[in-house]
Structures are given as structure tokens and as C-alpha cells.
Amino acid sequence: MFTYYSMLIVGVFLIIGAVFIFIPMFINRVYSLVNIGKILGCLLLGVLLLAITLPSLKYVVFKQYDVVSGRCVIDIDNSSRTSEVDFDMQDTNEIFTFRDIPKLDAYGKAIPYYCKVTVTKDHNFEVSYKIVSINFNYINYTNLVKYSI
């Protein structure tokens, strides 16, 4: 959800920034190539970010979430500066990414778990997850973060 809110806020600020660059340029009637490039860049990037996030806004505001559950494989990605964990849902062939790494004994394709991933109704943004062991049916790790606006 941090990714969702940050994309939404950056998109709004980019569009507002494009408007604030355009207003003095329009009033003074000085159309420089640099300012036109700034306006178009900010406007296009802001519209792109809002086009990605606004369709999911009604699901986030009204907390209409969907739970995807089933067998999953947990992969850790340490290639970048921050570590991420990928939940590869075997039943639905969907991959969900979270920033915090669960504290489990083992990871990888050889160790399947049963996962419950809470996502928005359109399955674009992840909210939380629960990991349950297949053999023992107990909760190994829970990531329940309460987000509110």
C-alpha cells in the first residue's frame, strides 16, 4: 500500500507542478523550450501515475479487498538496495510483491506454503499476507498492517 499511496501523491504533485510552471509562462507569453519540456514531462508522468492508481482508488477508500489463497512459493529478491519478497501463487498464476521479508525457516521453489494474500478487487495493489504451513496448518507469519486515509 505504500507503493500505491506514493504513486498517487507523486502523480498529483507532478500535475500541480506542471500547472504552476505553465501559469507564469502563459501570463508572460514567454514560451521557452526548457519550460515546455518541463511541463510536458511533468504532465505526462503525472497522468501516467494517476491512470495507474485512480482505477483502484474506490477499492482502497472503501476497503473492498479480495483474498487470494492457495499454494504459493516464496522467493526473496536481494538484487536491489532493498529486499523484496515475491509470492508466486501456484493456483492462480499471480505474483504479488511485498517489501518486508517474512521470518521463515526456508524459502524457494522446493518449499511450498499455503498463503492468503489480501489485494484490491482489481488485483493491482497488495495489502497484506498470511503464510500457513501446508503440513501443520498453523500460521507461520502474518503481515497485517492497518492502512487508513
Regarding predicted confidence, which is higher, 46 or 147? 46
pLDDT tens-place string over residues 90-116 = 888 888 888 877 777 666 666 778 888
pLDDT tens-place string over residues 136-148 = 555 666 665 544 4
pLDDT at 137: 58
For residue 37, is pLDDT > 60?
Answer: yes
Regarding predicted confidence, which is higher, 133 or 96? 96
Mean pLDDT, residues 20-47 taken together: 89
Buried b (16+ CB within 10 A) or exposed e, 55-75: ebeebbeeeebeebeeebbbe
Residue 135: pLDDT band (50, 70, 90) is: low
pLDDT tens-place string over residues 8-28 = 999 999 999 999 988 888 888
pLDDT at 148: 41
Q: In what order do the strands lie in the sheet with 84-89?
A: 94-98, 84-89, 65-77, 108-120, 126-132, 139-143
Region of 126 please: left (phi>0), alpha (psi -120 to 50) or beta.
beta
For residue 128, is pLDDT > 80?
Answer: yes
CA pair distance 109, 27, nearest whole angstrom? 61
Q: Is beta strand 126-132 parallel, antiparallel or unpaired with respect to 84-89?
A: unpaired
> Between the CA of residue 32 and those of 24, 44, 49, what are the distances in Å?
12, 18, 26
Q: Is beta strand 126-132 parallel, antiparallel or unpaired with respect to 139-143?
A: antiparallel
